[in-house]
Structure 1
Amino acid sequence: MTEVMMLLTPNWRDWYHFRHQQACFESGTAFEDYVSKVLEKFHDDFLNPAPSGSLGDGGCDGLAESGTIFYACYGQRPGRNAERELANKIQGDFARGLDQWDTFHTWKFVTNAPIGPESLKIISALQQAHGPTADRPLTIRAVRPERLWTDVVGTFDVPILDSLFPGAPGIENVELADLLPLLDALGTAESASETGGRVLPVPPTKMDFNKLPEASRIEFNSGRLLAPRIDRWYEESSDPGLYDAQGERFRTLYQEARSVTEEPAEILERLYVSVAGVNFRMDGKRANAAFAVVSYFFDSCHIFEMPPNDGSVTGVDPDALAN
């Protein structure tokens, strides 16, 4: 039996963001442990000191960047005096950190607790007391869950995110699974900006003959900028028959799509999904890679029908030409 390759659908980031939000709803040490795991993956030298006797941890929940960044963390605790407790925590952690650690120039307080007026007054007072003209100028920041996502967690690659939140759903079978390495190559920043050689416009007679809508033509013109990269990918393949085999598979998928609908845009959408998975449009690079691959096989005449060579026949049913 042929092994079925799987592709993580492009809405993976939404799922990881949701899991991050769930982790940030945790109380107390559960949230603090999550933040520590995140920072360990964000900084290659992050260390969270273990409490030591009467010294405790010195108000420190982690140092990074050779000790120049100091983290204090607080997971909210249920209680009627939550705002006052948070304000005391900010003031206390900062005072202990300032007294016992002399290497940091950035102090970050990471919390999932709502920052009310008392806590904000403390933060503002500390920022003003340690401004640019102070004896010890410091950058002082409060980091809430969404900032933790945008600045830290949301910057991670999929393998790191998956180590934090394993078992991402949204996995789709992809008909042309052996094209996944090509999609990944086209989706890199280097490849996506490459134009390489002369790029021809999509053949207008074939587009007109098959009645493709304007939106599809725009997608094709965008995707065809990557045609030189696809050429090289096939040239460098260890399988000399790969291009022909995939071309035939494209033709079969096209014919299957035509058996379901005769709308050109709907046929194309089915081909895109066969290449890149459901919800591929939620990832701009993945979508453009799908446009590139499908337009490549469109231009090589594996999908849709070619108009007559002399261009004298218009509006003919493509099925009539195919027979």
Structure 2
Amino acid sequence: MFDTCNQTRFEAWFSDLSACVWGNDFEPIKAGGQHGDKKSDGRRVSTETVFQCYAPDSPATFASKAVAKVQDSFPEVLTYWSNLSEWVFVHNNAEGITSSVSDALEKLREAYPNIKISSASRRFLKDELHDHLTLSQMLDVYPDARRDFSEVGMEHVRPLLKRIISEKTTIYDPNDFGDIPSEAKLDHNSLSEDAKFFLNFARQNIGIVDRFIGGMNNPENASIIQSELREKYLELRDFGYQSDEVLGKLVSFVRVEEEPKTTAAAYVILAYYFDACDIFENVPEDATC
């Protein structure tokens, strides 16, 4: 989730985790009325802590706009929370805050010495929230944990591939058949153990994709799908996303809706094109993909 969700989805994830762990001690704040979200994405009542989330869709956006996000909260946040004791800037930048954000936070600490001001990211979300979930809470927060690839059928795969064909945006090369995949490709692309598990588990049904492609009346459609996925992968890679982030965004690109079987079908499709060497990189010694 940390690698793949951003903006309002990141805020909702943080809110879900906090509500599970802190219960009634946590107040989620949603935008509404003349005061909006009161410069807050949630408040822990007992500690008078206000959380502000910032999860843009790319590291470049974080680098260019995070300082403005911090400055947008102060001093206005104090007009809504006069007893504010702690303010936490929760973000999705895996590499940590930039030096400019660090400087902005330090200036706030100097200007408001009675308020504890800090930033929080993946480690905070994992140690303080995620790892305290019960099993039932975890299944509620992470519905993908219920994913069952064995029930994916042609009726789930067909609409996803047809949509890619109908909404094509790239110029395809019908003579580009990709390269032979490498056995070490999963490791070479630095995918997490969870990502590897889902791709390997999804492989059991990639024959469905093969049957769909083989049964199409227009053979050019196979090249259209290949080209669309390849171009989307290259776009995400060139934006600087990590491999798990790329995979998550490809899943979002392929699926029509966030429903377990549709998501599982999207993984089956991506496993097929992963093996066909249309997405992600081959080990250099084997081939260039």
Task: Calculate the TM-score normalised by the size of structure 2.
Answer: 0.45
Task: Calculate the TM-score normalised by the size of structure 1.
Answer: 0.41
Q: Which has the larger radius of gyration?
A: 1
